[in-house]
Structure 1
Amino acid sequence: MESDDWGSIRIPDLAAKNRLMDLGLLSVHDPFSKFDTLESADDLEALFSVLNQFNDEKGNSPVITANIVVGNPDFQKIKYSDFSEYYFEAFTQTYQNLSVGVDPFSVMQKGIDEGLFFPQYHAREHLNVSTWMQLLQSGDEAFRKAFESGCFSIDYKARGNRRNNLMAAYDYNTVEDLSFIRRSISEGLALFEQHFQFKSITTIAPCYVWDAAIEDIFLENGVAVFQGSRFQNTPQPNSSDFKKIFHYNGEKVKEKVYLSRNGLFEPSINQNIHWVDKAMESIATAFAWNKPAVIGTHRLNYVGSLVPENRDRNLRTLAQLLTQVLQKWPDVEFVNSAELADLYQ
């Protein structure tokens, strides 16, 4: 199970969410705007409680490969610079700024020690910083209002923007943008190692947007395994579209290895889908072809500060899925993405 976005602010709190929705800056129909927010200690404890109920025949619990965003914008410093400079803070600092009670990082460490939670590198920040700073510096009214609420993840449907927001950290058009990304990756990987005391073996690009130049930067930094969906979104200069590149599980290109998600468990995205049946069908298809099942399941399914009942419902559904998996395939093995990559390598 690969799960993205841990550590990122996204929607700071319920008050900010309601304010930005009232202003029309967030869509009430967007699940990420409705549910996704910084994880709390309670969120992590609730997730680990479910995972701890299950074991494969080797005694391993189901493990979430948690792709971590290791930094967030430092809104205060950026404001004090009059938007002339970009500053970021470590995700652990964001925990201290926004969390109440138990430190989420201490709970996360417990989950790591118990083999339930395996961090890997997502990005330094889940944000196209260059474009965001240009908008702030130009006085863009929408992004300035969102900034005052500690939020950058509002809708942005502008001509020339290849997505409807600024969440694709590695979407770029200029050499200067690529230079910024290069520095952010190097600094982000160092920050990851500083906090977790090991190097990230794999990475996944925010929004599945990256190109060969981004891969080269990761290779220079010792990361050669790229998680993703079936399709890589490659930025095209002077184009409003991405070029789609297909990847399959275990694909090797020279020293690079690609892991491709061949199933989904995303109950927050569409609550009209029977996600247990959908995931079971995907797993069965993968196993029928003697392939590993790699299930994509984003953080928004497991955080409850904005809508607690959504988290609780999804955790019950996750327990149902794991129960059925073990019943149908008692010899199933639970592994993290680095272990899977090692088998391919």
Structure 2
Amino acid sequence: MNLITLFRKSYVNYRGWSTPKKIVVIESDDWGSIRIPNTETYQALVKKGIPVDKNRYTKFDGLETPDDLAVLFEVLSSHKDANQNPATITVNSLPANPDFDKIRAGAMNTYHYESVFDSYQKHSSKEAMIGLWKQGIEENIFYPQFHGREHLHPARWMKAVMTCEKEKICFDHDAIPGIDLGTSKRINYLAAFDYYNEAEKLSIETDLMDGLQLFETVFGFQSKSFIASQSIRGNHINAILANNGVKYHQNAQQLLPYLEDVKHGIVNKYWGFKDEFGLLYWRRNVTFEPSKNQNLDWVDLCMAEINNAFTFGKPAVINSHRLNYIGHLSKKNQSDSIKALDALLKAIVKKWPNVEFMNSQQLGEYMSNTSNE
């Protein structure tokens, strides 16, 4: 870790709530989102000149399969903390995706969505995925929390599909690239909580309430924590979150919506900050993204960042997106990332035998019930 990174991490870690416990939380975004659903779609888009092979998210990230979860579960369950609890990943999830067939049937005039389990039915196995999600929750190795209804702004996405030929090609293949396709009409539709005007702001509130209710229907319980897609959100959603069971913001670094700041200005809150609705905030202070650069020693880098967090009495909250663990688009990407995760967890337990693995809900509950130690 170079001096600039060390200074930034230390600044994030020194303020606010602290604890003598050695706590490790892994927060992983984007689960449930279609993105590039399968290898056939990826190959078809490459042949049509869509640059999905030029961006790591479209090259590696796609709808998870039973095989993806089975490989990840094996590694997580093999590492135990001081209390003999397995390593756990908080999977920030999207309970819905666009229903491409219904949108087509409506002549592209109206947006429709489907449950993530209906998406699984189309692309892998609904029954197998339901069983694996249930196993992950029961064993606390794969614990879902709310990331939005879909990983997109529906109106913007529909506009992109209707005005950009390459986006329409992706739509025809049931894919959501969300990348620069080299056209002059690029529209960022992945930021579900961004807004350009008051009408979009109101639609976000409606979709948020619907999404929180759908999350409870899909997973069987309310989400207690939340992180906005691309970390862009306005404060207007906090009352809705609090009124629907959410108690914790996973990311105290907030990017402001376009209407409030055209450059998406950043607002940083400290560890343990509580807003007027009682929502509690913390920061992600460790990065584990092997798919970004497989030539880096991610274990060494993460261990240094974890040590920095513990030095300032903060839990190590590891940021690690889904694309690291998806294998049906790139077996090598998955294999390399899984090996690195296995090595990282082994190193953590060895260096800090008193470590405690928690999911985000457990971290929030612990922080809420613990005074500043």
TM-score range relative to shorter protein? over 0.9
- Shift of the alpha carbon at 1:257? 1.0
2:274 is matched with which residue: 252, 259, 277? Answer: 252
- Shift of the alpha carbon at 1:181? 1.4
- Shift of the alpha carbon at 1:296? 0.7
Equivalent position SS for 2:147: strand
> How far apart are the structure 2 equivalents of 1:160 and 1:219?
37
Q: Is the 2:286–2:317 contact (alpha carbons within 8 Å) kept by the matching residues of 1?
A: yes
Counterpart of 2:301? 278
Q: 1:1-345 counterparts in 2 under 5 A?
A: 1-100=26-125, 103-136=128-161, 138-156=162-180, 165-228=188-251, 231-237=253-259, 240-254=262-276, 255-345=278-368
Measured against aligned partners, the alpha-carbon deviations of 1:31-62 in whole angstroms (never above 9, x if no partner) come to 11110011111111111101111111111111
Q: Is the 1:4–1:297 contact (alpha carbons within 8 Å) kept by the matching residues of 2?
A: yes
Equivalent position SS for 2:190: coil
> How far apart are the structure 2 equivalents of 1:323 and 1:256?
34
| Identity, % of aligned positions | 37
165-174 or 202-211, which moves further after superposition? Answer: 165-174
Measured against aligned partners, the alpha-carbon deviations of 1:118-166 in whole angstroms (never above 9, x if no partner) come to 1111111001211112233x443122111101012242477897xx742
TM-score (norm 2): 0.86
Equivalent position SS for 2:315: coil
> For the aligned residues, what is the CA RMSD?
2.0
313-322 or 97-106, which moves further after superposition? Answer: 97-106
| Higher relative contact order (Cα pairs below 8 Å, separated by 6+ residues) | 2
- Shift of the alpha carbon at 1:238? 8.2
> How far apart are the structure 2 equivalents of 1:12 and 1:197?
25
Opposite residue 276 of structure 1, the aligned amino acid is V
> How far apart are the structure 2 equivalents of 1:158 and 1:185?
30
> How far apart are the structure 2 equivalents of 1:245 and 1:91?
32
The 3 A distance-change label for structure 1 pair 50 and 224 is same
Q: Is the 1:153–1:166 contact (alpha carbons within 8 Å) kept by the matching residues of 2?
A: no
Measured against aligned partners, the alpha-carbon deviations of 1:182-217 in whole angstroms (never above 9, x if no partner) come to 121111111111122211000110011111112233
> How far apart are the structure 2 equivalents of 1:33 and 1:199?
30
Q: Is the 2:120–2:126 contact (alpha carbons within 8 Å) kept by the matching residues of 1?
A: no
Q: Is the 2:156–2:188 contact (alpha carbons within 8 Å) kept by the matching residues of 1?
A: no
Q: Is the 2:41–2:173 contact (alpha carbons within 8 Å) kept by the matching residues of 1?
A: yes
> How far apart are the structure 2 equivalents of 1:252 and 1:154?
33
- Shift of the alpha carbon at 1:311? 0.9
- Shift of the alpha carbon at 1:240? 4.3
Opposite residue 245 of structure 2, the aligned amino acid is G
Opposite residue 272 of structure 2, the aligned amino acid is G
Runs (5+) with no aligned partner, structure 2: 1-25, 369-373
The 3 A distance-change label for structure 1 pair 257 and 145 is same
> How far apart are the structure 2 equivalents of 1:160 and 1:220?
38
The 3 A distance-change label for structure 1 pair 130 and 77 is same
- Shift of the alpha carbon at 1:79? 0.7
Counterpart of 2:12? none
TM-score (norm 1): 0.93
- Shift of the alpha carbon at 1:307? 0.6
> How far apart are the structure 1 equivalents of 2:262 and 2:47?
29
> How far apart are the structure 1 equivalents of 2:73 and 2:242?
33
Measured against aligned partners, the alpha-carbon deviations of 1:203-236 in whole angstroms (never above 9, x if no partner) come to 11001111111223322323231112x6321113
Q: Is the 1:250–1:259 contact (alpha carbons within 8 Å) kept by the matching residues of 2?
A: yes
Opposite residue 109 of structure 2, the aligned amino acid is S
